[in-house]
Amino acid sequence: MKMKFKGEEEYCTEYMRYLGVAKTARRSYAESVRLLKAKGFKDISTFKTLKAGDKVYRGCLDRTIMAAVVGRKPIAEAGLKVVGGHTDAPRLDLKPKPLYEKDAYVYFDCHMYGGIKKYQWLVRPLALYGTIVKKDGTKVVVEVGDKPEDPVFMISDILPHLGKDQAKKTRDEFFPAEDLDVVAWTTPAKAKKGDDGEGDKPKADKKGFVEFLKKTYGVTEEDLLSAELEVVPAGMPRECGFDRALIAGYGHDDRVCSFAGLQALLDASSEVPDVTASILMCDKEEIGSVGATGMQSSFFENTVAELIERQERNPRDIMVRRALERSSMLSADVTAAQDPHFSDVDSTGNGAKFHMGPAASKYTGGASKSGSSDCEPEFIARIRKIMDDGGVVWQMAELGKAEKGGGGTIAQYMSRFGMAVLDFGTPLWNMHAPCELASKFDCWQTYKAYSAYLRS
């Protein structure tokens, strides 16, 4: 099995570069398209017919993308092999009317996206990414906070000397979600001398900030009504520990798996597979896979229909349904690695551990498997053989102790087509935190695992 990367360090260096670039679903989409085009993939709209070996991709709203290497067997007959993950991550979104004044300062009014612990976002450098769309359709890209010369943003917190009342509150109470607002501008305007003779007084200067936006980006405050602006942690991924065995970074969930799938497909594109090999990198997983770019949309099945339409002389709806049912998928999403500091939530003998490779999870969901697809043992056996034959180091695991929580992936939305789906992803510490931890070895083996599956 020929692979682009010679070893763990080379692969992880490229992954860290990607992780630093792809901090939002839009940026991940753009970088993925760049890499796909560099390997000869073309937008599906450029194909009238598809033949074995063709390399194709289809996108949705610059956030969700599916790419495939067409196999020798017709998709309607053999289905597809899919590695599917997501590229959105927990963050803070600016509200539709994001600017407000408080005393002499201007803030970004923010809304939480995905499951976060609010306190983890306080007093840390933050970056701002996104797109502002003007009424004439012009798109203005905003990228501030990660270049050495950039300013950063921050959410302030009370000092411990004055925080005794705050300390008495629970974790969820001590900092209201409505106060997760980012300092945007603190330079006050000078007030005119009043009749009281007290002289100039500072006042909030939203006007000055709006003038800055117009001068710098050519947008008005009203243009922010049609903007998608996201607050994410500032800074690039770093190696962690004296042994440099871990990668610390924002958005491992789930870019560590999506990137591995993308690279596995790029490698596989040099060969013609029997069964069409494909990847899916979707949006909105962290809020329930909803919306036009989430896995509950029709994007995936529509894309399969587009592929079949270019292969069959008389394509019919039943062909799409049969192709989906004959397909299989690795749901490429992360899982929790056992943390010795929180052993009370570990499922004894069934938890994932660092440096033991990606984890296969028969089911996810809640305490009674709610919200999971619960993979059939026949497909697990197939995957076991593929991984062992491919020399992949991997493990079986579930997400923590029963009745202690749980989580879901896109597996449940794919398995509804009747296809075989198994959750198979990289273990993490600090999942959903602004800085997550992943093992380099596990990242490398995840890439090897998806490569083995797509080429099996």
**pLDDT in the model for residue 200:** 59
Residues 187 and 320 in one domain: no
Query: Is residue 358 assigned to a domain?
Result: yes
Query: Is residue 408 assigned to a domain?
Result: yes
Residues 224 and 345 in one domain: no
Joined tokens for residue 239: 């190696």
Alpha carbons 349 and 341: distance in angstroms, whole number: 17
Residues 78 and 102 in one domain: no
Angle 368-115-255 from CA coordinates, rounded to 5°: 95
Region for 291 from its dihedrals, namely left if φ exceeds 0, alpha if ψ lies in -120 to 50, beta otherwise: left
Number of residues assigned to the chain: 456
At residue 389, the 3 state secondary structure works out as helix
Residues 258 and 387 in one domain: yes
Among 174, 205, 233, the domain boundary falls at 233
Task: Estimate the share of the chain in helix, then strand, then coil, as percent rounded to the nearest 5.
Answer: 30, 25, 45
Residues 202 and 282 in one domain: no
Among 233, 258, 277, the domain boundary falls at 233
pTM surpassing 0.85?
yes
**pLDDT in the model for residue 203:** 66
**pLDDT in the model for residue 401:** 80
Residues 136 and 163 in one domain: yes
Residues 282 and 420 in one domain: yes
Residues 341 and 313 in one domain: yes
Query: Is residue 1 assigned to a domain?
Result: no
Please say whether the dihedral angle defined by the alpha carbons of residues 258, 16, 242 and 253, taken in this order, is positive or negative: negative
Q: Which residue type is seen at 287?
A: I
Query: Is residue 53 assigned to a domain?
Result: yes
CATH of the domain at 95: 2.30.250.10
**Number of helices and strands in the chain (H, E):** 11, 22
Among 170, 201, 233, the domain boundary falls at 233
Residues linked to residue 139 through DSSP beta bridges, in sequence order: 133
Closest CA to 41 of 334, 266, 298: 266
Whether 266 and 35 have beta carbons less than 8 Å apart is answered as yes
> Half-sphere exposure of residue 6, counting CA atoms within 13 Å on the CB side?
1
Query: Is residue 242 assigned to a domain?
Result: no
Residues 68 and 145 in one domain: no
Query: Is residue 243 assigned to a domain?
Result: no
Residues of the chain with pLDDT under 70: 1, 190-204
At residue 215, the 3 state secondary structure works out as helix
Read off the pLDDT of residues 92-133 as tens digits, 9 standing for 90 and up: 999 999 999 998 899 999 999 999 999 999 999 999 999 999
**Structural domain boundaries enclosing 198:** 91-233
Output the CA–CA distances (angstroms, integers) from residue 343 to 248, 347, 354, 442, in the order listed: 22, 9, 14, 21
Angle 12-438-114 from CA coordinates, rounded to 5°: 115
CATH of the domain at 408: 3.40.630.10
Joined tokens for residue 81: 């092999």
Whether 271 and 52 have beta carbons less than 8 Å apart is answered as no
In the chain, how many domains are there? Answer: 2
Residues 184 and 223 in one domain: yes
User: What DSSP designation does 132 have?
Assistant: E
**pLDDT in the model for residue 372:** 82
Residues 78 and 184 in one domain: no
Query: Is residue 182 assigned to a domain?
Result: yes
In the sheet with 436-439, reading across from the earlier edge strand, the strands are: 238-240, 246-249, 436-439, 427-429, 335-336
Output the CA–CA distances (angstroms, integers) from residue 26 to 86, 193, 435, in the order listed: 12, 48, 20
Residues 74 and 97 in one domain: no
Query: Is residue 244 assigned to a domain?
Result: no
